[in-house]
Amino acid sequence: MKLHTKQTRKGFTLVELLVVIAIIAGLAAMATPVIMKQKKKADLTTATNNAKQIFYLMIDFDGDFGEFPSEDSAMDIQSDLDLGTESSNDFFRQFIAANYIDSEEIFFAKASFSKKPDNVITSDGALEDGECGFAYLSGQSTSNNSSRPIAMAPMVLDSETFAPDPYDSKAVVLRIDGSVKQFRLNNDDEAILNGAQTLFDQGEDSIWGTDGFDSAALTHATPK
């Protein structure tokens, strides 16, 4: 009598493996947009929270110097740090030079040109290229229109528009009144205030009044 032994199949066939790989790839493709959206929300929240912290420094600085960081205050501060006035890094560096803060982290905002600060605040390392993500509007104080912006992100370098990608077509704007607004961007990547009016619109009924917006006061961050 011949005995037949049952053979157990080991492993998967090529077809089965391909099916499994296709299913995994499909699930990953569906999950990626959700993950990216959540990442942008997290980056938006970080920028918003950091802007709120910057405002507290602005108020303290204004109380001591009578204005927010400016060309004049840069000359008044005695420091080994480079206190130029060409970029937002330069202006925000005044906070470190005047001992208002010993960390760089609150100046970070996600942008294509930014990087995580290393918190090295020596003469060569304080707010170096890429460690600041906010643009800055100099020449202001608490006496100006409370709706005007002080710091903004994520701005396109050397422009008055915002990059739509980092925060899912939103802009983070710190205003003189201390509020931090998240404005939607229009098709031209401008921050929409209300109706069709945008952040840098000119005119008597704008936040800039009859004097208009001084584009020379807008400084951008230095890229990494």
Number of H helices, E strands in the chain: 3, 7
Q: Note the pLDDT of residue 6.
A: 55
Q: Note the pLDDT of residue 120.
A: 93
Residues for the chain: how many in total?
A: 224
Instruction: Find out whether 112 and 165 touch, Cβ atoms under 8 Å.
Output: yes
Query: What is the average pLDDT across 186-210?
Result: 91
- The answer on pLDDT for 14 being more than 80 is no
pLDDT cut 70: percent of the chain above it: 92
Residue 137 or residue 14, greater confidence: 137
pTM score:
0.84
Domain membership flag for residue 7:
no
Domain membership flag for residue 1:
no
**pLDDT bracket for residue 195 (50, 70, 90):** confident
- In order of 123, 155, 165, 191, the CA distances from 159 in angstroms are 29, 7, 16, 13
The pLDDT tens digits of the residues spanning 176-194 come to 999 999 999 999 999 999 8
What is the C-alpha to C-alpha distance for residues 32 and 22, in angstroms, rounded to an integer?
A: 15
Domain membership flag for residue 86:
yes
- The answer on pLDDT for 20 being more than 70 is yes
The pLDDT tens digits of the residues spanning 57-66 come to 999 999 999 9
**Mean pLDDT for the chain overall:** 90
* Helix%, strand%, coil% for the chain, nearest 5: 35, 15, 50
Domain membership flag for residue 54:
yes
Domain membership flag for residue 5:
no
Strand pairing category for 218-219 and 180-184? unpaired
Number of domains in the chain: 1
**pLDDT bracket for residue 82 (50, 70, 90):** confident
> Please, which residues have CB within 8 angstroms of residue 148's CB and are 6 or more apart in sequence?
137, 140, 175, 176, 207, 208
Query: What is the average pLDDT across 42-46?
Result: 96
Domain membership flag for residue 4:
no
Domain that holds residue 99: 14-219
What is the C-alpha to C-alpha distance for residues 59 and 148, in angstroms, rounded to an integer?
A: 15
Q: Note the pLDDT of residue 4.
A: 54
Domain membership flag for residue 192:
yes
Domain membership flag for residue 59:
yes
Residue 107 or residue 35, greater confidence: 107
Query: What is the average pLDDT across 117-134?
Result: 93
